[in-house]
Every structure is written in C-alpha cells, then in structure tokens.
Chains A and B, each alone.
Chain A
Amino acid sequence: MATSVLVVDDTAFMRLTLKNLLTKNGFSVVGEAENGEDAVQKYFELKPDVVTMDITMPKMDGIVALKSILQRDPSAKIIVCSAMGQKPLVIEALASGAKDFIVKPFQPDRVVEALNKVMSGGSA
C-alpha cells in the first residue's frame, strides 16, 4: 500500500506543489491542512503515515502543531518544511521530535529521500 501523507501548508500553491510531487513518486496524499489547528485535527482523523509540516502558518504554527501531535502520538512521523533563513526553527522542530526537514524550494529527490528514510525507520 502506498505511504499515506498529510500535507500541511498555509499556501494552496505549496500544497499543490507537494501533492503533485508526492503523487508522481508513488505516495498517496490523503489530506491537506492549512494551519496548525487544522493539522492536529486532520492528523488524528486520518492517521497518515507521514506528515509534511510547514512552519510559518496562521492560527497555530507548525512547531506548536508538531508538539501537540507528538504529545498525543509519540510515534507520529513528521517532516518539517522550512524556508531559507529558518535554521533556528528547524533546530527547534528537530529537538521537539521532527524526524527530518526539507527546505523550500523543494528538490524532488530530497523530498522523496526524506519520506523514504522516515518510512524505513531512519531519522535525521
């Protein structure tokens, strides 16, 4: 069965980009969320294998969402998506239990690699 992914990002364009990229590489995008609150809710609703979590979002940012998911499900596999200039936040995310990070602009190979690695049990 294809790996199920929840794509979290506040911009529709980025969600579309990731969805296209992931679908093309054999992943199944089962849901999308546009802010942290939405992400937490959808995670427990859909129980995806992996979450790609944007950091900067309205209402609840990706780091808070990540912590709140991991608190209730320590086995959650979350990959954070950051942009250039967000190193400190990436470090915080990793320290909080994110499995890996990918940097915008996305490089397809790097994204696929990160997801595969997370699914095979490796961590950053």
Chain B
Amino acid sequence: MSEGIEITQELRQAFISEAQEYVQRLNDCLLELEKNSGDADALTEMFRAAHSLKGMAATMGLDGMADFTHEVESVMQAIKDGKIALDEEDTCLFFAAVDAIENMLDQFAAGNDAPAVRGLGCEQVTAQLKALLEAGTTGEGTEAKVLEHSSHLNGMDHTVKVETAKLDELINLIGQLVIARNRLAAFCEAGDVPEEALQEIDQATSGLQDLAMRLRMMPIQSVFRRFPRMVRDVAAELGKKVRLEISGGDTELDRAVVGRMGEPLVHLLRNAVDHGIEPPAIRKELGKPEEGLVRLSARNEGGRVVVEVQDDGAGIDPQRLLEKAIAKGVVSETEARQLNESQILELIFLPGFSTKEQATEVSGRGVGMDIVRNVIASMNGVVEVDSKPGLGTTIRMHLPITLAIVKAMLLKAQEEIFAVPLEFIVENILLDNRAVKSMMKRPVMEWRGEVLPVVSLREAVGLQGQCTGASAVILQTGKRKAVLEVDEIVGQQEIVMKSIGHFLGSVKGISGATILGDGRVSLILDIASLLN
C-alpha cells in the first residue's frame, strides 16, 4: 500500500483503541442478540461496527483484517435485510468471528503489521460465514463481489466447504442404510441370506457411519470462547471479582450438540457468578480469596463428553433448599423426609425453582435450571449437581457425542420393545427375585456392595403386570444407578434416533423413537427421568 496514507504512531494508537471499542461493541450486541435474535438495533449496530472496523483496517493497510471484517459485515447486512435468519448456531459463529478480529487486533498491537485470521477453528469461521451468506443471497449485487474479493482467505487446499444440509442428508441416508442392514440381519438369522453378504455390508456401513459422524464433529471451543467476556461482564455488573478458567475446549462433539450448548451454559455461568460467587467483601471475611473462581471444562469420559461448570462460591444449603421446596409445595413433608442430600440438591432442576425471585432467596441456583435440564435431556444427556455449602457448586453435564445414530440395548416389556442407549447400561444381570428387598416401601437390591433401587420396565412405561423371567440391566447416569427389570433382553442394535417431540409432544420417560430391523417402531427410554 505504497500509495496509502502515512501511518504515524499517533494514528496507530488511535486505530488500536478505537478498534478495541468496536470489538467490545460487537460483543455487547451479540449478547443482546443472543437474548433476542430479532433485536433490530443490535443488528444495525453490529453491522455498523463491522463496517467501521473494515474501513479502519483497510486504511491501516491491514488487508487480512479488512477482508475478514468485510465478510462479517456482509453477513450482518444480509441478516439486517432479512435475507438470512440468525439462529443460535450463527450467534456462536459470530462470537468466534469477533474473537478472530480481536485476535488480529492483538497481533497488530504486539507489533505484527500483517495480522491474519488464525487459530483454532478460524478457517471454519470464514467458511461458515461464506456458507451462510451464499445460503441467504442469490448472488446478485455487492455480496457476490465480496466473496470473490476475499476468496484467498479460504486458501486451505486440504479443506472443502460442505453445506450442513448436505451433511445432514448424508447422515439421513446412512441412517436408512443402518436400518436396512438391521433388517438384512434379521433375514440372515432366519437363514435366508448368506452370512458373508451381511458382513460386507456391515463393515461398509460402520465405516461410512463413523466417517459421517466425524465430519459432523466440531470442538466445543466455538461455544466456550464467548464466555470469558460474558463472565467478565456479569461480574462487573454485580461488582464481583471472578476469574474464569476454561479447559478442554478442543473436545469434539456433534455440531448439533455444540449448537445447543450455548443456552444452558449461559444460564449456568450466570448463575455461578450471580448466585455462587460471593461479593469480594464477604469472601474476604470468610477467608476466601477476593477473586472467585469459575471453571468451565469439557472432557471425554467413557464414550460421552462431560461438560462442567464449577465455582468456589457459597454453595447450596440443602436444608434451606428443602424448606423452600416444602414451602413452595414442590415436595410434601413426607416426601421430603425420604430424600437424601443429593436428591435434595436435584430439586433445583424442578420448574418451581426457576423463578427469579426464588433464586436469590434460595441462596443457590435457580434461574433457568429447569431449562438447562430440559435442553440436556432432549439430547439424551444427563445433568447433575454437586455442592458443598461454603465451598461451591459443580454442575456436571454428561452429553452424547452424537445425536443421530447410537448403539442401543433392546429391552422387552410384554410385546413392546424399548431401546436404551448403550452408554447408560453397566451390565446385564440375572435377577434373583429373592435378592430384592424392601427399603422404605421401595424395592431395592444389593449389587456389588451398593444398594440400588429396582425399577420395573412395565411399570415405568405404564404396562400392566409384573415382569416375567429373570432379566435385568444395571443402568447408570452420572452418579445414579438402578436395576431395571425387564421381560427379556433382546440384544444390541445400532439405532437411528428420531425425535418424537413433534407429533407426540413431550412424553414422560421417552426421549425418542427408532425403527427396528424388522420395521417395528421402538421407543427410546429417557433414562434420566426413569432414574428420578
């Protein structure tokens, strides 16, 4: 840019500080949009901030930054003009995009005169912005030129941009293939098809399915990265000192799961700062460091992903929580007496505790905890709470890595077959009825030194009579275990999860449906609610 303006030190400084202001403004707008995706003011302001940043960067001769912000601006323009709708995943994407801008700004401030988009997931950000734009525009006018102009940003030869719709179609087709394979297996068992034919299809299907799943995986970082700012903002608003530690951002999950984690995490982190971490003066009095610690982490654990929000704040007082629950009529006094400490803590997930005025009084969490549980349960995940009064609270979410195809155990109750995702099953056992004892009028059984409740599948799904036979499975979600008594253990099968939400509404105890190899519909048990 030899013909450009002369960059003085003064100009450089002015650029950095004003650009930082715009980055902050972009963040603020995104937080607004996250609450209300139709907020026209926030949209307009975001567009303007991106536009200004672009102009400034171009003036400074920072082409990489100018091109990238132009991309963001173009998408904002399309959203503003109603050409594309902003959904939750897009908000994640924009947070990532703003982070990329901030990163470039940092590079420049640190003396790099040609900052470029780089770092975890940045190529995807650019690619996804473009994909969004292409999906929303017909290619006429200015936007089309934009894409040409900055195409070099995407110069990663080993990556290919794929529309997510195509990917979903691929997953669907594989789903059908899995079902067909299962049907073939049924014929094979009957001796109508040679075994080798099945084996070949089996291998191909598994390979294909595995690959398709990996295509859908993305690091949870794309959701995590927006939280440092949010926690900082909430803390500042409340006059608290909070440090957020993030780990495991590179843990990969199905993009559908990642896309839905935003809302629950917003609730959990806000609660941790708002209701968990004490004001600095109080912490000082208690002998705690003035600065509270909130940890957000993700890790792989036994075929699932565990996402945790942990704080070193006030914790939840189970006694006070219980009193409130009784006062609110959430539990009766008789029921209350039978609850152990961890069961008491779980009361916070009930809708009765989710109102704002309750939350502050209850000295714990409350705001949106029922929402958190619903979102997690809808993905076949489980959320649990751990808390020590005075020491802090941990909310732990166990999530499936993928939503589409899972290995499941098929269980029979009367003539109905139900499916349970395999990750919930510890083992199959032979049930000796003499081992079942009664404790507080509930059937329990000792299993490897633990006393577990015994649940009848027939009863759980509203079928008549006692289970016959001697089969049961040990179920586990998080810390909770139970014995599930069934009529018959049919066996394992890969199942394609179909949501039944659309036509059946939310059915208690059922999280979805699938089509079995023989063409029958099988309902998928919601283990979390079954164990409650």
Interface on A for B, CB 8 Å cutoff? 10-14, 16-17, 20-21, 56-58, 83-88, 104-109
Contact = CB atoms under 8 A, between A and B. Distances in A.
A86 B15 CA distance: 22
A58 B408 CA distance: 56
B532 interface: no
A84 B18 contact: no
Interface stretch (B54-62, B100-108, B294-302, B375-383): B54-62
B141 interface: yes
Contacts of B18: 11-13
Contact of B52 (A11, A21, A84, A85): A11
B5 A108 contact: yes
B500 interface: no
Interface stretch (B142-150, B214-222, B478-486): B142-150
B151 to A, nearest CB: 14
B48 A107 contact: no
B15 A13 contact: yes
B200 to A, nearest CB: 54
A88 B142 CA distance: 9
A108 B59 CA distance: 11
Contacts of A84: 54, 58, 70, 149
Contacts of B51: 56, 83
Interface in B97-133: none
Given A17-B11, A56-B52, A85-B70, A104 B145 contact: no
29 contacts: A10-B52, A11-B52, A11-B56, A12-B14, A13-B14, A13-B19, A14-B52, A14-B55, A17-B11, A20-B5, A20-B11, A21-B5, A56-B51, A58-B48, A83-B51, A84-B58, A84-B70, A85-B70, A85-B73, A85-B146, A86-B142, A87-B142, A104-B58, A104-B59, A105-B4, A105-B5, A105-B61, A106-B5, A108-B5
A43 B142 CA distance: 32
Interface string B1-26: 10111101011001100110000000
Contacts of B61: 105
Contacts of A108: 3-5
A124 B56 CA distance: 25
Nearest to A10: B52
Contacts of B74: 85
Q: Would you call the interface of chain A mostly helix, strand, loop, or mixed?
A: loop
Nearest to A109: B3
Contacts of B146: 85
B11 A14 contact: no
A11 B48 CA distance: 10
Interface of B: 1, 3-6, 8, 10-11, 14-15, 18-19, 45, 48, 51-52, 54-56, 58-61, 66, 70, 73-74, 141-143, 145-146, 149
B149 A14 contact: no
A106 B59 contact: yes
A12 B70 CA distance: 19
A56 B47 CA distance: 10
A74 B365 CA distance: 64
A93 to B, nearest CB: 15
Contacts of A83: 51, 54-55, 58
A53 B481 CA distance: 69
Give the residue among B55, B59, B70 with the most A Cβ atoms within 10 A: B55
A59 to B, nearest CB: 11
Given A83-B54, A85-B70, A107-B4, A14 B142 contact: no
A20 B6 CA distance: 9
Given A17-B59, A57-B48, A105-B66, 9 more contacts: A10-B52, A11-B52, A14-B56, A20-B5, A56-B51, A83-B51, A83-B55, A88-B142, A106-B59
B272 to A, nearest CB: 35
A11 B55 contact: yes
A57 to B, nearest CB: 8
> Which of A20, A56, A86, A105 neighbours the largest number of chain B CB atoms within 10 Å of its CB?
A105
Give 10 closest A-B pairs by Cβ, nearest first: A105-B58, A105-B59, A104-B55, A85-B142, A13-B18, A83-B55, A11-B52, A13-B14, A56-B51, A107-B3
B254 to A, nearest CB: 35
A57 B143 CA distance: 20
A21 B1 CA distance: 16
Contacts of A107: 3-4
Given A83-B54, A105-B58, A13 B11 contact: yes
B45 A17 contact: no
Contacts of A85: 70, 73-74, 142-143, 145-146
Nearest to B16: A13
Nearest to B3: A107
Nearest to B22: A11
A71 B52 CA distance: 28
A56 B60 CA distance: 19
Contact of A20 (B8, B19, B142): B8
Contacts of A11: 18, 52, 55-56
Contacts of B59: 13-14, 17, 104-106
B209 to A, nearest CB: 43
Contact of A16 (B11, B48, B66): B11
B22 to A, nearest CB: 8
